[in-house]
């Protein structure tokens, strides 16, 4: 810092990141220059919002009765543009801090982002990095900011910079509250000294700023002064909707869907909600937390309101504005006013209804939604079974019969076989291998549809989902699903004779010893040689899986190995010509295979040596 005795001006140096940012703004960003005006107006609007809030809670505000507004004046001959607001203003310390030293992380992020997305496209979203003010240097030769804080005893101060390394701070003359920004326009930005040009930019980018903006001497407002969410739907273009979303979230992708609703009773409410395109926030997302923006009469009460939507809808972005919120009180009082649960009920209902509507109207889009956010809904069921009924209609599944498509539970029920009462599912590790599971054998042979649950969240979801309408959900791995009589007869013909099979069972028991609870015959298998089941009715395989995902210590209960008495491998295995050695190795391999398909094999690579041995034995013949 240096000091000039005559003018009392102090000189400060910008931080390295800010210098770099200024350099990019001045030398690389030629497109979208007009964005600077939006940024300055957005700052003015913030400042007005803040003083408004102050006036509601604090008696001691300078110029408490002047109109909250923004005035823009231009002088074409001088290439001068002035933007003045009656907002909260800044003290000397604040102006040094706000326009000189803070937001370096924002500058750094912006610089990083230019490397990834290219400099050209970034002007549009500079505001979201918390460095919007500096965009003025896309258009300015120099800038002077003169400000007077709302605090009655604060003195006016001015900040001056050319976008070089330094800025200057000096005492200033200013009697009214607020901030005045004087800009000497660069030659190639002189268009911004034309009123008509200013009016177009305001219409385009700043129309819904909540305070009047006047251009020149005009007494007529240049902006409609209605927030987007308070504007009639038919007056808003898709572009405006998407623009608003992008400004708010700084996601580059367009939102997947939007919900814009206005309501007068039982509460007065505006909501503009978006479903993002992806379940993950973008790298540069401006939304650091979940939650909706809560406004009351256009004034921001809370940036991240988490209790307007249940956990399982926390991916929804947007704004809720209600006139029924008590304004002249703190955020904490808003929380306890009793209005929040009512708002939550309404907003949640709107979102859920809209999703159901989307599922009917636009299946393709709904499937995109499901793929991005289904996991949130499943989690909702897992963590709060009270939500199950509400969420059920939104669930989608792949099935053995429709493995490429998403089916709803209603679709499933509609396709159920005549006698079928239960909804069957199988839990597995991935959609391909689950189709090979021996547990599916019987159902495949019966042409019965089975839900394929292969997402880790599915096991958690099953803790809260055991019934849909009057149909129970049942795992195909449960041992007690008995095939029908005639089914058994049909396969009887190819069966290994009972006495031979008994010998085989003994051989398996001997070889596997303590590792299995029992070895027995199964009439449920057709394609597979064997499968593992837990005979205990109280055993819950899903819970087991949940424990495994959570990395909890648990004992896997001993399993029973069931053999397919009609399988050719077993028939050959018992032939006299097979040596005892080979028999043992094959039994071991059959057991390992069953572990593998259950996803229970502790060390699959250990099988390699046995398989090699088996190959050798076979080839030696």
Please choose which of Mg ion, ligand ADP, none residue 130 contacts, taking the beta carbon within 5 to 8 angstroms, the exact cut-off set by kind.
ligand ADP
Q: Considering the rule CB under 6 A, would residue 132 count as an interface residue with ligand ADP?
A: yes
Residue in the block written with tokens 């708002």: 343
Question: According to the binding rule CB under 5 A, does residue 87 interact with Mg ion?
Answer: no
DSSP 3-state of 147 = strand
Residue 63 CB partners (closer than 8 Å, separation 6+): 86, 150, 176, 177, 178
Residue number closest to Mg ion, CB atom: 132
- Pick one of ligand ADP, Mg ion, none as the site partner of residue 88 (Cβ within 5 to 8 A by kind): ligand ADP
Q: Does 124 bind Mg ion (CB under 5 A)?
A: no
CA angle 138, 143, 169 (to 5 degrees): 135
Shortest Å, Cβ 147 to ligand ADP: 6
Give residues with Cβ within 8 angstroms of 458, minimum separation 6: 378, 427
Helices (DSSP H) in 3-142: which residue ranges? 16-27, 35-57, 92-96, 104-117
Q: At closest approach, how far in Å is the CB of 94 from ligand ADP?
A: 7
Do the beta carbons of residue 545 and residue 454 sit within 8 Å? no
Q: Where are the alpha helices (DSSP H) in 189-330?
A: 195-205, 238-249
Residue from 131, 343, 496, 529 touching ligand ADP (CB under 6 A): that is: 131
Nearer to ligand ADP, 52 or 567 (CB): 52
DSSP labels, 326-376: --SS-HHHHHHTSHHHHHHHHHHHHHHHHHHHHHHH-HHHHHHHHHHHHHH
Distance in Å, CB of 411 to ligand ADP, minimum = 48
Helix, coil or strand: residue 169: strand
Closest distance of CB 39 from Mg ion, Å: 5
Q: Which stretch binds Mg ion (CB under 5 A): 9-17, 127-135, 311-319, 332-340?
A: 127-135
Residue 273, strand partner residues? 259, 318
Contact region for Mg ion (CB under 5 A) — 40-48, 222-230, 267-275, 535-543? 40-48
Closer of 81 and 391 to ligand ADP (Cβ): 81
Residue from the set 21, 37, 88, 172 that interacts with ligand ADP by CB under 6 A: 88
The single residue among 87, 132, 163, 438 that binds Mg ion, judged by CB under 5 A, is 132
Query: Measured between alpha carbons, how far is 353 from 349 in angstroms, rounded to an integer?
Result: 6
Cβ atoms < 10 Å from Cβ of 86: 22
Q: Round to whole Å and give the CA distance between 147 and 545.
A: 63
Window contacting ligand ADP (CB under 6 A); options: 44-52, 231-239, 355-363, 393-401: 44-52
Residue 243 binds which entry of ligand ADP, Mg ion, none, with Cβ cut-offs from 5 to 8 Å by kind?
none
Q: Return the number of the residue (211 or 366) whose C-beta is nearest ligand ADP.
A: 211
- Cis ω before 266 (30° cut-off from 0): yes
Site track 98-117 with ligand ADP (rule: CB under 6 A), x = hit: xx---x--------------
Torsion, Cα of 223, 227, 232, 238 (10° steps)? 90
Among 80, 117, 130, 505, binds ligand ADP (CB under 6 A): 130
x/- mask, ligand ADP, residues 170-209, rule CB under 6 A, reads ---------x------------------------------
Nearest to 461 by CA among 379, 358, 553, 363: 379
Beta partners for residue 317, in sequence order: 274
Taking CB under 6 A as the criterion, the residue among 35, 44, 111, 185 binding ligand ADP is 44
Minimum CB separation of residue 88 from ligand ADP in Å reads: 6
- What CA dihedral angle connects 344, 345, 346 and 347, to 10 degrees? 40
Contact range with ligand ADP by CB under 6 A, out of 36-44, 160-168, 539-547, 548-556: 36-44
Helix, strand or coil for residue 139?
A: coil
Q: Which of 17, 85, 182, 251 binds ligand ADP (CB under 6 A)?
A: 85
Where along the sequence are the contacts to ligand ADP (CB under 6 A)?
39, 43-44, 46-47, 85, 87-90, 98-99, 103, 130-133, 179
């Amino acid at each position: 810092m240096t000091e000039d005795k005559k003018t009392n001006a102090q000189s400060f140096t910008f931080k390295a990141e800010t210098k770099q940012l200024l350099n990019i703004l001045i030398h690389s960003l030629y497109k979208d220059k007009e964005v600077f005006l939006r940024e300055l107006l957005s700052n003015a609007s913030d400042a007005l919002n803040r003083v408004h809030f102050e006036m509601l809670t604090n008696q001691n505000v300078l110029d408490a009765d002047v109109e909250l507004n923004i005035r823009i004046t231009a002088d074409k001959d001088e290439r001068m543009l002035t933007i003045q607001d009656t907002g909260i203003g800044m003290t000397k310390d604040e102006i040094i801090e706000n326009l000189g030293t803070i937001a370096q992380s924002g500058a750094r992020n912006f610089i990083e982002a230019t490397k990834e997305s290219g400099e050209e496209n970034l002007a549009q979203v500079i505001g979201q990095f918390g460095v919007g003010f500096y965009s003025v240097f896309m258009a300015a030769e120099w800038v002077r900011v003169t400000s007077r804080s709302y605090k009655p005893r604060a003195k006016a101060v001015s900040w001056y910079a050319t976008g070089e390394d330094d800025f200057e701070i000096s005492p200033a003359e200013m009697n009214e509250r607020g901030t005045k920004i004087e800009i000497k326009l660069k030659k190639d930005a002189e268009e911004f000294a034309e009123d008509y040009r200013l009016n177009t930019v305001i219409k385009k980018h700043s129309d819904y700023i909540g305070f009047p903006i006047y251009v020149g001497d005009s007494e007529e407002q240049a902006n409609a002064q209605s927030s987007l969410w308070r504007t009639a739907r038919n007056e808003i273009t898709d572009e405006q909707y998407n623009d608003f979303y992008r400004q708010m979230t700084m996601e580059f992708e367009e939102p997947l869907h939007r919900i814009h609703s206005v309501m007068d009773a039982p509460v007065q409410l505006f909501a503009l909600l978006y479903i993002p395109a992806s379940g993950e926030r973008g790298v540069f997302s401006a939304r650091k937390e979940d939650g909706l923006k809560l406004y009351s009469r256009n004034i921001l009460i809370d940036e991240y309101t988490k209790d307007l939507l249940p956990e399982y809808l926390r991916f929804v972005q947007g704004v809720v504005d209600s006139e029924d919120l008590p304004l002249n009180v703190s955020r904490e009082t808003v929380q306890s006013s009793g209005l929040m649960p009512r708002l939550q009920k309404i907003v949640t209902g709107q979102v859920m209804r809209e999703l159901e509507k989307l599922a009917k109207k636009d299946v393709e889009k709904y499937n995109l939604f499901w793929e991005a956010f289904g996991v949130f809904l499943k989690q909702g069921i897992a963590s709060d079974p009270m939500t199950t009924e509400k969420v059920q209609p939104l669930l989608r599944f792949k099935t053995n019969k429709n493995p490429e498509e998403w089916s709803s539970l209603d679709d499933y029920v509609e396709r159920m076989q005549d006698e079928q009462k239960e909804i069957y599912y199988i839990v597995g590790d991935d959609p391909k291998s689950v189709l090979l599971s021996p547990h599916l054998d019987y159902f495949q042979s019966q042409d019965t549809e089975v839900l394929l649950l292969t997402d880790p969240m599915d096991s958690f979801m099953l803790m809260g989902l055991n019934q849909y309408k009057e149909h129970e959900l049942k795992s195909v791995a449960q041992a007690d699903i008995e095939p029908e009589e005639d089914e058994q007869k049909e396969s009887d013909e190819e069966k290994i004779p009972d006495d031979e099979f008994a010998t085989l069972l003994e051989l398996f028991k001997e070889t596997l010893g303590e590792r299995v609870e029992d070895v027995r015959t199964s009439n449920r298998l057709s394609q597979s040689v064997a499968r593992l089941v837990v005979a205990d009715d109280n055993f819950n395989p899903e819970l087991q899986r949940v424990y495994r995902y959570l990395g909890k210590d648990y004992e896997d209960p001993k399993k029973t190995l069931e053999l397919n008495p009609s399988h050719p491998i077993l028939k050959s295995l018992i032939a006299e010509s097979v040596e005892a050695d080979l028999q043992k190795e094959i039994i071991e391999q059959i057991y390992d295979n069953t572990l593998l398909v259950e996803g229970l094999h502790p060390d699959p690579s250990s099988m390699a040596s046995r398989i090699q041995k088996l190959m050798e034995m076979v080839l030696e013949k």
